[in-house]
């Protein structure tokens, strides 16, 4: 994070990140439920839908992986929030001290050490690289998810009576995962400002 980034900016960014993360976590939850549903359907279809069932299980694991990545982002956001709060507090204190110092040179001289100390509390956030790393992992997970959704589509063609239902389900998997990508883009844009 650049030194001039104010506490208010950092606080607002932490809120934006948190909101995006929440949306992705909801998607993860939905993918997980869809995966469970798909496994049950595949079981119903018998041996011919075994491949579809295995892929659905993989998609469930993938949703948990993505959720874990979002949790990491959430923890980083908490760090950002703590930093933003400390910085905001320091900024406000510095403003009051600066107001007092403006009364006279004598007062300014006395308050100078306190002002320096307060400035030193305005720590910069250096977690931008961690955000980027975490988002790259999430992108990789989603890309792999899309590959899995395509494979599920292929497997659905061999699933006997339930093939139409499973084909639809595989399409929903792909849509749900595709919908996560713009959220990751948004997170990437927000967190880029932190690097």
Which residue, 130, 132, 168, 141, is CA-closest to 152? Answer: 168
C-alpha neighbours within 13 Å on the C-beta side of residue 44: 11
With binding defined as CB under 8 A, does residue 106 bind other proteins? yes
With binding defined as CB under 8 A, does residue 119 bind other proteins? no
3-class SS of residue 119: helix
What element of type H or E holds 122? none
Residue closer to other proteins, measured from CB, 56 or 118: 118
Q: Which stretch binds other proteins (CB under 8 A): 8-16, 42-50, 90-98, 179-187?
A: 90-98
- Considering only 6, 37, 104, 143, the residue that binds other proteins (CB under 8 A) is 104
CB of 89 to other proteins, least distance (A): 8
Q: Which stretch binds other proteins (CB under 8 A): 3-11, 45-53, 87-95, 175-183?
A: 87-95
- Considering only 31, 111, 135, 138, the residue that binds other proteins (CB under 8 A) is 111
Residue closer to other proteins, measured from CB, 92 or 192: 92
CB of 102 to other proteins, least distance (A): 8
Sequence-separated contacts (24+) of 53-60 with Cβ below 8 Å: 55/148, 55/151, 55/152, 55/155, 56/152, 58/148, 59/31, 59/34, 59/35, 59/145, 59/148, 59/149, 59/152, 59/173, 60/31, 60/32, 60/35, 60/36
- Considering only 96, 140, 189, 192, the residue that binds other proteins (CB under 8 A) is 96
Q: How far is Cα 124 from Cα 134, in angstroms, rounded to an integer?
A: 20
Contact call for residues 111 and 97 (beta carbons, < 8 A): yes
With binding defined as CB under 8 A, does residue 107 bind other proteins? yes
Which residues are near other proteins by CB under 8 A? 89, 92-93, 96-97, 99-100, 102-104, 106-107, 110-111, 114, 117-118
């Amino acid at each position: 994070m650049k030194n001039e980034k104010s506490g208010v900016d950092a606080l607002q960014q932490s809120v934006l990140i948190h909101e995006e993360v929440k949306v992705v976590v909801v998607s993860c939850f939905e993918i997980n439920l869809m995966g469970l549903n798909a496994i049950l359907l595949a079981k119903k279809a018998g041996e011919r839908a075994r491949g579809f069932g295995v892929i659905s299980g993989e998609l469930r694991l993938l949703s948990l992986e993505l959720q874990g990545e979002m949790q990491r982002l959430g923890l980083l956001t908490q760090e950002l929030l703590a930093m933003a709060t400390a910085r905001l507090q320091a900024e406000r204190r510095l403003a009051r001290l600066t107001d007092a110092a403006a009364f006279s040179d004598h007062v300014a001289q006395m308050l100078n050490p306190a002002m320096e100390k307060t400035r030193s509390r305005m720590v910069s956030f250096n977690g931008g690289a961690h955000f980027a790393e975490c988002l790259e992992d999430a992108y990789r997970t989603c890309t792999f998810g899309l590959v899995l959704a395509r494979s599920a589509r292929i497997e659905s063609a061999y699933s006997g009576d339930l093939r139409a239902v499973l084909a639809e389900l595989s399409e929903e998997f792909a849509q749900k995962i595709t919908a996560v990508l713009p959220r990751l883009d948004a997170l990437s844009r927000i967190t880029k400002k932190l690097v």
